[in-house]
Amino acid sequence: MGISMNILLQQKAPIYEALVKHKSNRVVPFDVPGHKGGRGNKELTDFLGENCLKVDVNSMKPLDNLCHPTSVIREAEQIAADAFGAEAALFIVNGTTASVQGMIMSVCKAGDKIIMPRNVHRSAINALVVCGAIPIYVNPGVNRDLGIPLGMSLEDVKQAITEHPEAKAILVNNPTYYGICSDLRGIVDFAHEHNVKVLVDEAHGTHFYFGDNMPVSAMEAGADMAAVSMHKTGGSLTQSSFLLCGEGVNPHHVRQVVNLTQTTSGSYLLLVSLDLARKNLSLHGRELFKKTVEYAEYARDEINKLGDFYAFGSELVDYDAVFDFDPTKLSVHTRKMGLAGIEVYDLLRDEYGIQIEFGDISNFLAIISAGDRALEIERLIASLSEIKRLYGKEDVTGMFDHEYIDPDVVLPPQIAFYSDKKALPIKKTVGEICGEFVMCYPPGIPILAPGERITDEIVNYILYAKDKGCLLTGTEDMAVNNINVVNL
């Protein structure tokens, strides 16, 4: 762990302490929210608990204001910055989507170019739709055996920056959903030599800051900003996130940009969860993530003994498009047994009562944490053994072998999204320019984004994913039978 934090400071939790004091003061509430500490909605209070409803409060002087923090939230942000080794940390309650968009929109305006891999989360391309920046895509490496996109090769990044010296920033996914890491230090060093900001979507990398022997974190690598999805692997409530700022970034400007889209009614349930999760990781992160890695490594070894399933790991590292691997990720390839990842996902949920993070056409991902129990890890392994025995197939012909398709970008996302459009049946869209998003969720990485040419391969992929049971989202047509295309 490369961060030297002030342990005495990390024992504090200013938002939590302020809420405890607020509860003890028994203040009479003539403000919002209207449930008045839960008294106005008994069923909700019975479900969530009185303690929860009593601290679901609005901004007030003793509790500070998320849009312009000057007291307890400000102090909590300063302590978080110390924990993550950042110059500043902003509490985000609109999800890491808001963190990613805040990063992009604080350094890019309409017409500015930003370099990014195409396998970004939809939030990044959404930011381009809103602010009008122009994407310069670097195709990630692709492992055809596993059917997954990898990280960005440093050489490809250097080429993109050299060819587009006017680019304002580069966005890096680190790690990817599957645990693949790029050469973050190399990218930061080269980008900074060319006055390009480095923004890191670190949604799945909270543990990089607190665990031992982890891949390098964004702040340690010298990145300018990072979006950290604290709720994914850090223990806070869903939708809570940190936006970290490094040296040379004006956090007050970043906050102004975030305030364009983030709620003015920040949830104190989310805020206090960030405060306490940060405290927990600062004080106990080493042992928590040591246990997480032990669980993941054990599961990986046992699943690989089953045959046909392949739980991949650090053996993929080639110090290029796979510069490092996140050891907490349990990513499992399923195609060799004749099942798509989403089919295994469905079987685990429907037949064995096990909920994993997601499945795609070739793999599934199970999120492992110290909150798991050894018995549950064994149950997952045993269920996979049963699935292989009962549902495995020898014939894998006709299965898609990859999920990443190089895009043909014809129009900037903003122009395509706001253009006149017409709806066409999916099979009749080949050759057209897409005017909306099409993606499987999770993970929320677009198959198609606004402004991209629709090809036979893309249509076949969409129909295949739909047939296999993937949840397709992004289209105006809720049944996903039609796609809106640009009406030229």
Q: What is the DSSP string of 357-382?
A: SEE-SSEEEEE--TTS-HHHHHHHHH
Check if CATH label 3.90.245.10 holds for domain 7-283: no
User: Which residues are within 8 A (CB) of 35 and not within 5 positions of it... i.e. 6 or more apart?
Assistant: 41, 44, 45, 53, 56
Q: Which CATH class is domain 413-486?
A: alpha beta
What is the reported pLDDT for 402? 58
Q: Cα–Cα distances in Å, from 301 out to 146, 154, 309, 342?
A: 18, 31, 11, 22
Task: Name the residue ranges covered by the structural domains of the chain.
Answer: 7-283, 286-391, 413-486
Q: Which residues pair with 422 in a beta bridge?
A: 485
For CA atoms 31, 32, 38, 40, the dihedral sign is positive
Nearest Cα residue to 484 out of 412, 418, 435 = 435
State pLDDT tens for residues 266-290.
999 999 999 999 999 999 999 999 9
Q: Which stretch of DSSP H or E encloses residue 341?
A: helix 341-352
What is the reported pLDDT for 5? 82
What is the reported pLDDT for 395? 61
- Exposed e or buried b for every residue in 369-387, given b needs 16+ CB within 10 A? bbebeeeebeebbebbbeb
Query: At which residue do the structure tokens 């390098």 appear?
Result: 216
What is the reported pLDDT for 361? 87
- Chain centroid to Cα 405, Å, comes to 20
CB 426 within 8 A of CB 468: no
Digitized pLDDT (tens) for each residue of the chain, 488 residues in all: 456 789 999 999 999 999 999 999 888 999 999 999 999 999 999 999 999 999 999 999 999 999 999 999 999 999 999 999 999 999 999 999 999 999 999 999 999 999 999 889 989 999 999 999 999 999 888 888 898 889 999 999 999 999 999 999 999 999 999 999 999 999 999 999 999 999 999 999 999 999 999 999 999 999 999 999 999 999 999 999 999 999 999 999 999 999 999 999 999 999 999 999 999 999 999 999 999 999 999 999 999 999 999 999 999 999 999 999 999 999 999 999 899 999 999 999 999 999 999 998 889 999 999 999 999 999 999 999 999 999 998 766 555 655 667 788 999 999 999 999 999 999 999 999 999 999 887 777 888 999 999 999 999 989 988 888 888 999 999 999 999 999 98
Please report, as a single letter, which amino acid is at residue 146: L
Model pTM score: 0.94
Q: Cα–Cα distances in Å, from 286 out to 2, 3, 84, 281, 327?
A: 12, 12, 14, 8, 14
Q: What is the DSSP string of 273-333?
A: HHHHHHHHHHHHHHHHHHHHHHHHHHHHHHHHHHSS-EEE-GGG--SSSS-EE-TTEEEEE
Nearest Cα residue to 275 out of 407, 91, 93, 457 = 91
CATH fold for the domain made of 286-391 = Aspartate Aminotransferase, domain 1 (3.90.1150)
